[in-house]
Amino acid sequence: MKKLNVRLVQMLIFSIFLVSAAGCGQEKSHSSKTIRVGVVKYIEQDDYINALTDCLRDNFAKKEKTSQMHIVVTVKNGGGKQAIQDRVVEEMIDAGCDILCVDLVDRTAPTKIINMARRNDIPVVFFNRELVREDLMQWEKLYYVGGDAAVSGVMQGEMAADHIVLKNSKKKGKGKYDPKVDRNRDGRIQYVVLEGETGHQDAILRTDEAVGTLTAKGIKLDKVSYEIADWSKDQARNKMTQLIAQKKNEIELVLANNDAMALGAREAYEKSGLSKEDYPQIYGIDGLKEGLAAVASGKIQGTVYNDKEGQAGAIAQLALALIEKRELRDFSLKDGRYLFLPYQKVDREEAVKREH
Ligand code: BGC
């Protein structure tokens, strides 16, 4: 009798293990209406990606309410290593995923994931980290959804230019810039770029386009430094603190590839002991809650809204259409595979509006 009880307990533990290890397959009922969506982020903690993933869950939950489908969404992450992400994807496929949504760790190394998906005939919607075209074209069930990164850089540059050049001023040369920005009144803007992760298309294009837009508008720039801060507020704060120690109040403009880094720069100034009049203009990109609040209160001068709702909506709709093998005619796919969502400028007035 005692032996039988031990056996029962063992079986119970084993079945609990099976259910929790199943990932995508957490749902026990295998009715034909159950859809298993596997979402694999590149890392556990990234504010923007987590907010986007929450929107994605909401989208699937809404769809579930208005349809006969039971949609099981499992979110995991690659721990910042491509090899780990490959393994997580493999587990999800083994557990019976119907569709994968993947934010690659290394956007140049999707081959393992593509091969596994293809062998098992599971479509993949990649998002946020754009894989190279040849990879995306390897198989017809691969798609990409993201923001139009170049546009976000242009918008950041345009907002900064609007604040630098004095409105309705006939002055030329040194006097044409707002003295609150060109604080040393040398007719040039001393600037710093805080860059996201090396090799990320958003980092590359945002930097190029923001600086290119300012230059194209005839604004004379002096590059003080480009610092890689990996999308991180802490790293940006540290890098900026070092720069302030070297350059004191010399920096007039900070272009950050995202809001987290813009906020890190602002914190570095707040801790620097410099007076507020000596702070540079700071611009970010993303428009998450904290970024919007900082623009609304004037802590940073602008951000560009990275439409997480739009991107999540597009990923969810595309995923469902692929599972249901529907025609994709209603999606405005570029080259049949890409969906790029627009960005929006957020200055102080717009941020205040969005906060209410
Ligand atoms: C966002 C960043 C985020 C990164 C992650 C970018 O589009 O602007 O905030 O850290 O994606 O890949």
- Residues 41-51 pLDDT 10s: 999 999 999 99
The whole-angstrom separation of Cα 219 and Cα 176 is 10
**Ligand 1 probe mutation, 231, 304, 311, most atoms within 8 A of CB:** 231
Is the model's pLDDT at 338 over the cut of 80?
A: yes
What is the pLDDT at residue 14? Answer: 33
**Rounded average pLDDT over 200-220:** 97
Q: Crossing angle, helix 348-355 and helix 289-296, to 10 degrees?
A: 120
pTM greater than the 0.95 cutoff:
no
Give me ligand 1 centre to Cα 209, in Å. 16
pLDDT-derived band of residue 32, with 50, 70 and 90 as boundaries? Answer: low
Q: Are 161 and 217 in contact (CB under 8 A)?
A: yes
Is the model's pLDDT at 184 over the cut of 90?
A: yes
Q: Average per-residue pLDDT in the chain?
A: 92
Looking at ligand 1, which residue's alpha carbon is closest to its atom 5? 49
Q: Which two tokens stand for residue 347?
A: 């200055």
What is the pLDDT at residue 356? Answer: 80
Give me ligand 1 centre to Cα 181, in Å. 28
Where are the alpha helices (H) located in the chain, listed in sequence order? Answer: 2-21, 47-65, 82-94, 111-119, 133-136, 149-164, 201-216, 233-247, 259-272, 289-296, 308-323, 348-355
Give me ligand 1 centre to Cα 200, in Å. 9
Atom of ligand 1 nearest to the CA of 288: 9
Give me ligand 1 centre to Cα 124, in Å. 20
Q: What is the pLDDT of residues 249-306, one digit of tens each?
A: 999 999 999 999 999 999 999 999 999 999 999 999 999 999 999 999 999 999 999 9
Read out DSSP for 308-321?
Answer: HHHHHHHHHHHHHH
Give me ligand 1 centre to Cα 231, in Å. 7
pLDDT-derived band of residue 236, with 50, 70 and 90 as boundaries? Answer: very high
Ligand 1 pocket (Cβ < 6 Å) reads: 46, 48-49, 128-129, 200, 202, 231, 258, 285-286, 306
What is the pLDDT at residue 355? Answer: 84
What is the pLDDT at residue 319? Answer: 97
Is the model's pLDDT at 198 over the cut of 60?
A: yes
Q: Which homologous superfamily is 33-147+308-342 in? A: Response regulator (3.40.50.2300)
**Ligand 1 probe mutation, 46, 55, 303, 304, most atoms within 8 A of CB:** 46
More confident residue, 277 or 9: 277
Q: Coil, helix or strand for 260?
A: helix
C-alpha closest to that of 274 among 298, 238, 250, 301: 250
The CATH class, in words, for 149-306+347-355 is alpha beta
Q: Which two tokens stand for residue 207?
A: 């930097």
Q: What residue ranges do the domains of the chain occupy?
A: 33-147+308-342, 149-306+347-355
What is the pLDDT at residue 17? Answer: 34
Q: Are 220 and 174 in contact (CB under 8 A)?
A: no
The whole-angstrom separation of Cα 204 and Cα 126 is 19
Q: What is the pLDDT of residues 52-78, one digit of tens each?
A: 999 999 999 999 999 989 999 999 999
Give me ligand 1 centre to Cα 183, in Å. 31
